[in-house]
Amino acid sequence: MIDFAKLHGNGNDFIVIDEFEKQIIPDSNKADFAVKYCDRRFGIGADGVLFISRSDKADMKMRLFQPDASEAEMCGNGIRCLVKYAFDSGHIDVGTVAVETLACVLPAETRKDDAGFWVKVNMGQPIKTRAQIPAKGDEDDDFIDVDMHGYNVSVINTGVPHAIIFVNDLDLDILEIAPKIRFDPIFPNGTNVNFVKIESDNEVTIRTYERGVEDETLSCGTGSVAGAYLGHLLKGMDSEIMVHTKGGDLNISISNDFVFMEGPAETVYRGTILI
């Protein structure tokens, strides 16, 4: 039997396996486990499986395996869910916490009020990347700013790679458009694809196609950070931005090129896999 918990951050949902005291799923089986149990018809159903364990350099370690068997470097909504699970399970108290991911160690602050459990994560400094597109004139411009498949694309890494496309209308066929960009050979490791509509100087709405899930998700934390950061940097938006996703809102703030993401995390249920 394998105990698990199901959590979500703005509808981006995860299965959590607690390996704080001992390994439950061998590393060699973690990818296959994610493929099987992320299935929404024959498994539990989720956008990924989070494994929580002890860390030598932080309060806990997070690993995320996705429905296509890939392991993601990190996940914004996922890290909030992991911290919420750690609180529910008595691994941490409300306050400050540090989480080791494949990308880096990320510090976070937690708070609990009548509206729920909130996690504010210091997402660090986004990494500007040009992928495999050669520079055009300005060698210091690290952003992609070219037409790809009919859209103007900018690229940023907020723990994982994101392609950002600013649009005037979000009524588009994301499942038709996004995979062409996500799988374009210019991205050697693939990319998440985000369509961002600026609503005002401090508000955007975003839709995200997630690499590894290979579908649109209700919310993407790192995508929201990427969209808000580039909105601030390239479009002159404010340093505090509300990001509307299909699953809910995230508060993104930018200070000295560091980006902070705050949002909720909710426990859906706990269960046991009988194997």
DSSP one-letter string for 118-160:
EEEEE--PPEE--TTPPP-S-TT--S--EEETTEEEEEEESSS
Res 56 pLDDT > 80: yes
Q: How far apart are CA 61 and CA 168, in angstroms?
A: 39
Instruction: Quote the pLDDT of residue 104.
Output: 93
The model's confidence at residue 140, banded by pLDDT at 50, 70 and 90, is very low
Instruction: Quote the pLDDT of residue 137.
Output: 46
Instruction: Quote the pLDDT of residue 129.
Output: 66
Dump the DSSP string for 257-268: TEEEEEEE-EEE
Res 243 pLDDT > 80: yes
Instruction: Quote the pLDDT of residue 132.
Output: 54
Instruction: Quote the pLDDT of residue 139.
Output: 44
Structure token pair of residue 235: 């479009």
Instruction: Quote the pLDDT of residue 142.
Output: 56
Compute the average pLDDT of residues 190-216. Answer: 97
Asked whether the CA dihedral 166, 172, 174, 176 is positive or negative, the reply is negative
Instruction: Quote the pLDDT of residue 138.
Output: 47
Q: How many CA atoms lie within 13 A of 269 on its CB side?
A: 6
Compute the average pLDDT of residues 18-30. Answer: 98
* CA–CA–CA angle 183, 229, 243 (5° rounding): 90
Say what the pTM is: 0.91
Domains of the chain, first to last: 2-95+266-273 (3.10.310.10), 127-262 (3.10.310.10)
- The closest of 205, 259, 210 to 232, measured between CA atoms, is 259
Q: Bigger pLDDT: 213 or 275?
A: 213
Res 114 pLDDT > 80: yes
Instruction: Quote the pLDDT of residue 133.
Output: 53
Question: Dihedral through CA 224, CA 260, CA 139, CA 187, nearest 10?
Answer: -40
Instruction: Quote the pLDDT of residue 118.
Output: 96
Task: Give residue-wise pLDDT tens across range 58-108.
Answer: 999 999 999 999 999 999 999 999 999 999 999 999 999 999 999 999 999
Compute the average pLDDT of residues 239-250. Answer: 98
Q: Catalytic site residues?
A: 75, 220
